[in-house]
């Protein structure tokens, strides 16, 4: 794999506000790379600098070997054109909008094929303003892809979609990646990051708190093993807290949750059996990505 996006020590200020303090990350060819983080972490500023839309104050950025700000023309030909709400006249029909966008490029994709693969056929003669929310997202995607980009930057693309339309958009994003496009995805949705991203960068206060696969981030949490059950008999916590690896036993509505640094399923089950306790409704749970991110952002940026 080769690096498509390389960011080194990126810094960007707005007046006195340091939006991005020191961000370094590398996105490899063909990856779906997520950028996650709390509000104001610097996600949008980072991707806008990567797209060449904002001038950075420090650091270096290379996208496909080009400086996105200084060599904007080179980047525009290789990066998708992002469609913000209202950029296309609502009166343009889908087919008209795609024909117009195709004319911006020397070597555009065949938009008829895009319309087919994105399931926009039924709406080709519909005015953009009359499309449903998910059809608008499909059009947005088609307009972004008509220039045959090598890299697509998707910033909160599924925000505001209902769950069904969101899942369809995820399928589309996977189809786009399968065609060889490298994708940089900014999202607030943990489910989206887990479903789509090969790796994610967790930003916090303008810095990178961690870069890893979604499951790698979860494994960074010390207590990432969890078992829950309803004990058939009263249970003393110390039966379980004394087992190696167990870090805590909590209860909610009689249901017991055991947290541990390692897989403690077998020792917990044998301890319960030894005391004649049946663990009803036993579940082995994964720590949600959201909990992992909260724990990682609670640590000082750069320390995790
Ligand atoms: N145009 C601007 N002028 C002044 N400050 C800005 C501007 N854009 C962003 N900021 C500030 O820079 C910081 C980072 O903002 P940015 O939008 O990059 O973060 P974000 O992680 O994308 O946040 P969100 O998830 O809320 O969109 C925030 O403190 C924000 O208030």
- Please give the helix or strand (H or E) that residue 8 lies within, else none: strand 3-14
**Nearest CA residue ID for atom 4, ligand 1:** 14
Average pLDDT over residues 235-257: 94
Question: CA of 197: how far to CAs of 2, 57, 184, 235, in Å?
Answer: 17, 29, 9, 41
pLDDT of residue 83: 45
Ligand 1 center to 52 CA (angstroms): 16
CA distance 69 to 66: 9
Any atom of ligand 1 within 6 Å of the Cβ of 238: no
The per-residue pLDDT for range 57-72, each reduced to its tens digit, is 999 999 999 999 999 8
Average pLDDT over residues 277-291: 90
Average pLDDT over residues 229-238: 94
- Are 276 and 233 in contact by the 8 Å Cβ rule? The answer is yes
Q: Residue 242: CB partners within 8 Å, gap ≥ 6?
A: none
CA distance 241 to 258: 8
The per-residue pLDDT for range 191-203, each reduced to its tens digit, is 899 999 999 999 9
Ligand 1 center to 40 CA (angstroms): 5
Any atom of ligand 1 within 6 Å of the Cβ of 189: no
Kindly give the number of the ligand 1 atom that is closest to the alpha carbon of 15: 4
pLDDT of residue 87: 52
**Nearest CA residue ID for atom 17, ligand 1:** 44
What SS3 string covers 58-83? EEEEEECCECCCCCHHHHHHHECCCC
**How many residues make up the chain in this entry?**
304
Any atom of ligand 1 within 6 Å of the Cβ of 39: yes
Give the helix ranges, DSSP H, for 103-162. 111-117, 133-145
DSSP per-residue string spanning 188-243: S-HHHHHHH-SEEEEEETTEEEEEE-HHHHHHTSTT-EEEEEEESS---HHHHHTS
Any atom of ligand 1 within 6 Å of the Cβ of 23: no
CA distance 145 to 152: 8
Any atom of ligand 1 within 6 Å of the Cβ of 14: yes
**Nearest CA residue ID for atom 25, ligand 1:** 39
pLDDT of residue 226: 92
Alpha-carbon Rg for the chain, nearest whole angstrom, is 24
Q: To 5 degrees, how large is the angle CA 64–CA 35–CA 41?
A: 120
CA distance 240 to 234: 13
Ligand 1 center to 17 CA (angstroms): 9
- Are 190 and 202 in contact by the 8 Å Cβ rule? The answer is no
**Nearest CA residue ID for atom 16, ligand 1:** 42
User: First CA to last CA across the chain, in angstroms?
Assistant: 26
Q: To 5 degrees, how large is the angle CA 203–CA 208–CA 211?
A: 95
The per-residue pLDDT for range 43-62, each reduced to its tens digit, is 999 999 999 989 999 999 99
Q: Residue 248 pLDDT > 80, yes or no?
A: yes
CA distance 143 to 118: 11
Name the nearest CA neighbour of 26 among 272, 196, 201, 190.
201
Question: CA of 303: how far to CAs of 216, 294, 297, in Å?
Answer: 16, 14, 10
User: How far is CA 140 from its chain centroid?
Assistant: 18
Residue with tokens 């890299």: 151
- Are 55 and 11 in contact by the 8 Å Cβ rule? The answer is no
Instruction: Delineate the domains of the chain, giving CATH numbers in brackets.
Output: 3-80+149-218 (3.40.50.300), 222-286 (3.30.70.100)
Any atom of ligand 1 within 6 Å of the Cβ of 41: yes
pLDDT of residue 108: 86
The per-residue pLDDT for range 259-274, each reduced to its tens digit, is 998 899 999 999 999 9
- Are 118 and 136 in contact by the 8 Å Cβ rule? The answer is no
Any atom of ligand 1 within 6 Å of the Cβ of 273: no
Residue 276, CA atoms < 13 Å, CB-side half-sphere: 2
Confidence of residue 123 (pLDDT cuts 50, 70, 90): low
Kindly give the number of the ligand 1 atom that is closest to the alpha carbon of 48: 18
- Are 67 and 82 in contact by the 8 Å Cβ rule? The answer is no
């Amino acid at each position: 794999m080769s690096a498509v996006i390389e960011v080194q020590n990126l810094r960007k200020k707005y007046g006195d506000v340091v939006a991005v303090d020191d961000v370094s990350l590398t996105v490899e060819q063909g990856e779906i790379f997520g950028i996650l983080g709390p509000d104001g972490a610097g996600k949008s500023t980072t991707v806008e600098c990567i797209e060449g839309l904002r001038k950075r104050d420090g650091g270096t950025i290379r996208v496909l070997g080009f400086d996105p700000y200084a060599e904007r023309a080179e980047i525009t030909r290789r990066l998708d054109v992002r469609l913000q709400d209202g950029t296309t006249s609502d009166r343009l029909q889908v087919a008209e909008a795609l024909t117009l966008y195709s004319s911006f490029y020397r070597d555009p994709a065949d938009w008829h094929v895009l319309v087919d693969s994105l399931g926009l056929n039924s709406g080709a003669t519909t005015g953009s303003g009359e499309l449903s929310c998910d059809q608008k997202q499909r059009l947005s995607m088609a307009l972004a892809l008509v220039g045959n980009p090598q890299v697509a930057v998707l910033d909160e693309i599924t925000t505001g979609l209902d769950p069904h339309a969101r899942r369809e958009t995820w399928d589309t994003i996977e189809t786009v990646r399968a065609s060889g496009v490298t994708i940089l995805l900014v999202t607030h949705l943990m489910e989206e990051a887990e479903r789509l991203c090969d790796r994610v960068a967790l930003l916090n206060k303008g810095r990178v708190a961690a870069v890893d696969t979604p499951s790698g981030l979860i494994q960074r949490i010390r207590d990432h093993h969890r078992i829950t059950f309803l004990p058939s008999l009263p249970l003393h916590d110390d039966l379980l807290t004394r087992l190696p690896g167990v870090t805590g036993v909590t209860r909610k509505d009689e249901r017991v949750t055991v947290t541990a640094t390692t897989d403690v399923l077998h020792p917990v089950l044998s301890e319960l059996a030894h005391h004649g306790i049946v663990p009803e409704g036993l579940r082995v749970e994964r720590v949600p990505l959201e909990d992992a991110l909260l724990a990682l952002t609670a640590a000082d940026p750069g320390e995790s």
